[in-house]
Structure 1
Amino acid sequence: MTTGSRGLHLVVPLDGRQDFDEVRAFALDVAGFAAARHPDRLTTAARRQDRGDRLYLDVQRNAYAQTAVAPYAVRVRPGAPVAVPLTWEQVDDPGVDARRWTLSDAVDPARTGPWAGVPSRGRSLKGPRSRLAALRG
């Protein structure tokens, strides 16, 4: 989902069996693994001066008292950008930008239901955690 500001949020429907600490730990593990695999392109460095041109994998939204933008929220930014849910095909577009959709053109994505394919029932982290462990070796 675009944030309408500076980035994208990855939204994962979970089944609620894992507590907050388990979900946060998994997010940190995935981000750390991805950054270690692609250090030239990805980083978990919170300080901007430490990131360079790399994509920041920010898992800080998965923390106590943190907020995340709601879908179709209008942001207080020039041009009135809107946070818009995306399909994986849209995320894969090299031209995708967090501020791409505005009040004037966010209606069409809303009508297409980009998250229509998202399971209505959340998933457990058990399988993904096992797969991550296997990838680590």
Structure 2
Amino acid sequence: DISVQAQILNLLVTLQDNHGLTYVLISHNVSVIRHMSDRVAVMYLGQIVELGEAQQVLTAPAHPYTRLLLDSLPAIDKPLEEEWALRKTDLPGNRTLPQGCFFYERCPLATSGCEVRQSLTTRADGREIRCWRAL
């Protein structure tokens, strides 16, 4: 139940603060991540696409997948922008990963150049992004 989850998360935060602990938290629950994390790594198909301070990543996402992920959260006052809706494609299996950017076929910003493998690049704000268009 939700109250037990909140108690456990609050206990983990208290232990973290009191003992300087670091957790690797894997979750799809953005509220939990926002509550628990100082730094966030967003992954797509097992590959980190954005890494940075939680406040930066969760309020001003730079990678197109991070933006779509956060924009997909339910909100009463904002519909998903049509140009940012996911392209209808089959998801690649974990045995046949794309040659270039893993998000290329579904990305609303995809252009030539995206079919080339991307590496994490550090931006001026300290975030690491795996997208040449988001730099």
Check whether TM > 0.5.
no
Structure with the largest fraction of strand: 2
When the two structures are superposed, what TM-score results if normalisation uses the length of structure 1?
0.24
More helix by share: 2
